Amino acid sequence: MLEARDLKKQFLSGESVFVLFEHLDFAAKAGEMVVITGRSGSGKSTLLYQLGLLDTPNDGVVSVDGIPASSLAHNARTDLRLERFGYVFQDYGLMPEMTALDNVLVPLIMRGESYPRAEAAARAALVRVGLGDRLSSKPARLSGGQQQRVSIARAIAHEPPYILADEPTANLDSASARQVLDMFSEIHRGGATIIMVTHEKESLALADRVLELRDGALLAVGTETHPPAVPSSLREGGAYGL
Amino acid sequence: MTDAPNVPVRSRLASSRAWNAVRVGFFIANRQVRANIGTSLLIIVVMVLTYLNLLVVSGVMVGIVQGLRSERLQYYSGDIILTNHREKDSIQNSPDALAYLRALPAIASFSPRYLAEGALEGNYAGKLLLQDEADTIPTNVAGINPVAEDATTGLSRLVIEGRYLQPSDYDQVLIGTSLLARYKTLTGIPGSTPIPNVGVGSKVRILVGGIEHEMTVKGIVASKIQELNLRVFMVDAQLRALLGRTDDGVNEIAIKLAPGADAAAVKGQLALSAINADAKIQLAQESEPVFFQDFATTFNKLGSFLGGIGLAVAFIVIFILVFVNIITRRRSIGILQAIGIRASGIQIGYIAQSVLYAIVGAAIGMLLLFTLIEPYFIAYPIDFPFSNGILTVSFIEAVVKALVLVVAIILASFIPARLILRQEIVDAVLGR
Ligand SMILES: Nc1ncnc2c1ncn2[C@@H]1O[C@H](COP(=O)(O)OP(=O)(O)OP(=O)(O)O)[C@@H](O)[C@H]1O
Ligand SMILES: [Mg+2]
């Protein structure tokens, strides 16, 4: 369970303090797919960074499977990100000097996999996102959609329980966006908890739950429009079984 | 579904995490070096130049002193020099001393010299009137055995014009360049004027022991060693005759050791012999005049000072290179942190890269230094008026300075990586 309690984030703009959100609560159950929408500038990305332990809130607590992130030392926090999270950034966030394979490989090595096992897992993840033939291409030689798929492969290769995605389809044409969204729904079916920020109508349909961030508060939007194929009670952590 | 499994997924020992950070560090370094071969080569070239700068400038300074010392040892003092005690006119019991030296196997050859203060006079033939003073200059007159002297110091190699003395050369002299205007270089005797219009074949008068004697200039001696440039050389028997010396006392004996002989050990042996009472026994360096040692100290200090500047420059260059290298990868560093790579791993990655550059740079620099630059300086010394400047770098010093380069680069890599790693990850990822 990924949980945020009483979250507050503010920025200094010149002399004045600008509070983006305050007393904000959020919880995602294991295996749930939550989509967060909201107007540009409403703070969706900022909220996602707090949930993913990439930023520190001014107040409140984010806890991951019961571990309060604020209690962790720098290295433990980094280790927690490695173990529990997969990140998909809007602009892909790939290392430019590394090939697609190497990009996926890095976190696997950090997890202590032997080199051959890490490479096999990275290869498999890239095959899964349809890039089995572009393993040794560097990001600059891949299209936006392909780069985003490398980024997804990196996020899922070590099968983390939580995947955070910030507008993963915003820079893609509709065909590529379709492909990427299909991938997320497949990962979701495998049992991962997904929290995705997006505007796309299609992705709203995939979600178990849609929340809108408006004026610093999270509001529920509609109901489960697209019930998952597998009852959530059967979807527990572990391997995705894709 | 269990919502609060407090045991971390696939938890591993902290020590293996640290090890994994090292593995990732080397993986990152490997990929970044390979992806930026051009930049890497450029950095290595700068490292090579920085390393050479660290060694060559101070090495030349030290080399000037060494060049001067070895020139003096070679052409003047030999490995060991015996001189008469100050209060005595000559080395007492000289024949015994010479016999003793002849019997020592560690001694390859030696040259006994008679010395007298005197003056050199030139251009006197045309000066008829009494008030026309002839041109004179004070000098040290040395009476040498030409064969023994040449075997010991190779004096004949310093004759730049004319010919070297033969044992039968009576009424002939060799004259040092500082005494003659025609050959005078930078140095001279303060308050005295070198004699003009005198060269090989000229008639000169030597004033020694109250006697004036006319002789012919047979050759000109030029050296970096001022003591030699101020001398007039003639055959020993003639000087003894001019001085009216009846004893066998010589004034100095330059000793050349056999190859491999230890000068300090031979000196110790001589000190235990009867010679110790009759002569002052000095190693080449001990016999150097005070100004000479001051000069050496000054140049060595200058060498250290320039070496220090080289070090500061090296550190700044390295810092800038590494800083730029790391700052331009700020976003990559943020991404790595975001996806769970420990700061230590990232830091190791950048330090490993930098250390690789430093080691490769120093290795290439060392190779150039010892196979190209040093041999070049030995083959073509810089012709300073007071020394043949060669480059003197010991292997130990080269290794120490390579280590200095590596330590400097580790420090320089540490700081910028630290700065970036301290930022909020999201700021680095988004380039804010
Ligand atoms: N580091 C920062 N310093 C100052 N203001 C910031 C900072 N980060 C975010 N903001 C402000 O917080 C607000 C929310 O930003 P955020 O990026 O979270 O919006 P968003 O909902 O993701 O928008 P979009 O849909 O355009 O991506 C914006 O007004 C932004 O200017
Ligand atoms: Mg955003």
Residues in chain B: 432
Same domain, A110 and A150: yes
Q: For B78, which DSSP code?
A: B
Question: Residue B9 above 70 pLDDT?
Answer: no
Supply the range of the domain harboring residue A15.
1-65+161-166+184-195+231-242
Answer whether residue B125 shows pLDDT above 60.
yes
Please tell me if residue B426 touches chain A, with a CB cutoff of 8 Å: yes
Nearest CB to A78 within list B332, B342, B424: B342
Give residue A238's pLDDT: 42
* Cβ atoms within 10 Å of B205's Cβ, excluding its own: 17
CA distance B296 to B288: 10
For residue A75, give the nearest of B16, B332, B342 by CB distance: B342
Q: Characterize the bridge pairing of strands B231-235 and B135-144.
A: parallel
Q: Which two tokens stand for residue A165?
A: 């995605």
* Contacts for B269 with CB less than 8 Å, ≥ 6 apart: B104, B106
- The whole-number pLDDT of residue B17 equals 87
Mutate to test the pocket of ligand 1, among A9, A24, A45, A198 (most ligand atoms within 8 A of CB): A45
Confidence at residue B325, expressed as pLDDT on a 0 to 100 scale: 80
- Pocket flag, ligand 1, residue A11 (CB < 6 Å): yes
Average pLDDT, chain B: 86
Give pLDDT, residue A227: 45
**Weakest mean pLDDT among A127-131, B100-104, B187-191, B386-390:** B187-191
Q: What is the ipTM of this complex?
A: 0.88
Asked if A75 and A15 count as a contact pair (C-beta separation under 8 A), the reply is no
Q: Quick one: which of B334, B426, B29, B430 has its CA closest to A109?
A: B29
Which residue among A31, A65, A78 places its CB closest to the CB of B5? A65
Ligand 1: atom nearest CA of A43 is 18
- pLDDT per position as a tens digit, A83-114: 999 999 988 999 999 999 999 999 999 999 99
Q: What is the DSSP string of A114-163?
A: -HHHHHHHHHHHHHHTT-TT-TT--GGGS-HHHHHHHHHHHHHTT--SEE
Residue B206 to residue B212: CA distance in whole angstroms: 6
Of B151 and B383, the one with more pLDDT = B151
Of residues A75, A81, A112, nearest to B338 (C-beta)? A81
A236 touches chain B (CB under 8 A): yes
State the nearest Cα–Cα gap between A233 and chain B, in angstroms. 7
> Mind giving me the DSSP string for A209-238?
EEEEEETTEEEEES--SS--SS-GGG--SS
Q: In what side-by-side order are the strands of the sheet with A33-37? A: A85-88, A162-166, A193-197, A33-37, A209-214, A217-221
Tell me whether B339 touches chain A (CB under 8 Å): yes
Confidence of residue B430 (pLDDT cuts 50, 70, 90): confident
| Euclidean distance between CA atoms B382 and B19, whole angstroms | 53
pLDDT of B50 > 60? The answer is yes
List b or e across B156-178, with b for residues whose CB sees 16 or more CB atoms inside 10 angstroms: eebbebbebbeeebeebbbbbbb
Which ligand 1 atom lies nearest to the CA of residue A213?
21
CA distance B414 to A122: 31
**Is residue B122 very low, low, confident or very high in pLDDT (cuts 50, 70, 90)?**
confident
Q: Which residue in chain B is spatially nearest to A84 when comparing CA positions?
A: B9
The encoded tokens of residue B270 equal 């001589």
Least confident range from A202-216, B151-165, B408-422: namely B408-422
Distance from CA of A158 to the nearest CA of B (A): 11
pLDDT for B311 beyond 70:
yes
Q: What is the mean pLDDT of residues B97-118?
A: 92
> Rounded to an integer, what distance in angstroms lies between the CA atom of residue A92 and that of residue A148?
5
Instruction: Give chain A's domain count.
Output: 2
Residue A21's DSSP bridge partners are: A9
Ligand 1 centre to CA of A95 (Å) is 24
- Residue of A9, A17, A18, A20 to mutate, ligand 1, most atoms within 8 A of C-beta: A20
| Percentage of chain B lying above the pLDDT 70 cut | 92
Percent of chain B predicted with pLDDT > 90? 44
Judged by a CB distance cut-off of 8 A, whether residue A16 touches chain B is no
pLDDT at residue B189 in the model: 60
Same domain, A152 and A97: yes
Tell me the C-alpha distance between B343 and B341, whole Å: 6
Predicted confidence at residue B15, as pLDDT, reads 67
Q: Choose the mutation target among A79, A92, A115, A236 for the interface with B, i.e. most B CBs under 10 Å.
A: A79
Q: Do A107 and B31 touch (CB under 8 A)?
A: no
Output the pLDDT for position A230.
39
Q: Which residue stretches of chain A have pLDDT < 50?
A: 223-239, 241-242
pLDDT, tens digit (0-9, with 9 covering 90-100), for A45-64: 999 999 999 999 999 999 99
Angle subtended at Cα B378 by Cα B148 and Cα B165, rounded to the nearest 5 degrees: 25
End-to-end Cα, chain A, rounded Å: 22
Chains A & B: contacts with CB separation below 8 Å:
115
Interface residue A80 vs chain B (CB under 8 A): yes
Are A99 and A154 in the same domain?
yes
Please name which of B220, B248, B250 lies closest in space to residue B232, comparing C-alpha atoms.
B220
Contact check, Cβ <8 Å, A66/B6: yes
Alpha-carbon torsion angle B191, B197, B198, B200, nearest 10: 150
**Is A83 part of a structural domain of the chain?**
no
**Could you tell me the residue ranges of all domains in chain B?**
17-70+293-430, 79-283
Shared domain check, A155 and A95 = yes
Residue A211 in any domain: the answer is no
How far is the C-alpha of B36 from the C-alpha of B48, rounded, in Å?
A: 18
Is residue B46 pLDDT above 80, yes or no? yes
Q: How far apart are CA A21 and CA B29, in angstroms?
A: 40
Residue B431 has what pLDDT? Answer: 77
- As a whole number of angstroms, the distance between CA B179 and CA B193 comes to 8
Domain presence at residue A39: yes
- Cβ atoms of residues B90 and B324 within 8 Å: no
Please report, for the domain that includes residue A45, its CATH number.
3.40.50.300
A162 reaches B (C-beta below 8 A): no
Question: Best of B10, B335, B424, B432 to disrupt the A interface by mutation (most A CBs within 10 Å)?
Answer: B335
Q: What pLDDT sits at residue B10?
A: 47
β-strand pairing of A59-64 with A67-68: antiparallel
Q: Which residues of B touch A82 (CB under 8 A)?
A: 339-341
| pLDDT at res. B131 | 59
Q: Residue B310 and residue B52: Cα distance in Å, rounded?
A: 9
A92 to chain B, any CB pair closer than 8 A? The answer is no
Type of residue found at A240: Y
* Residue of A22, A37, A42, A46 best suited for mutating to test ligand 1, as the one with most atoms within 8 Å of CB: A46
pTM over 0.90: no
Give me B252's structure tokens: 């100095």
* Chain segment B393-404, per-residue pLDDT in tens: 888 989 998 998
For residue A22, the model assigns a pLDDT of: 93
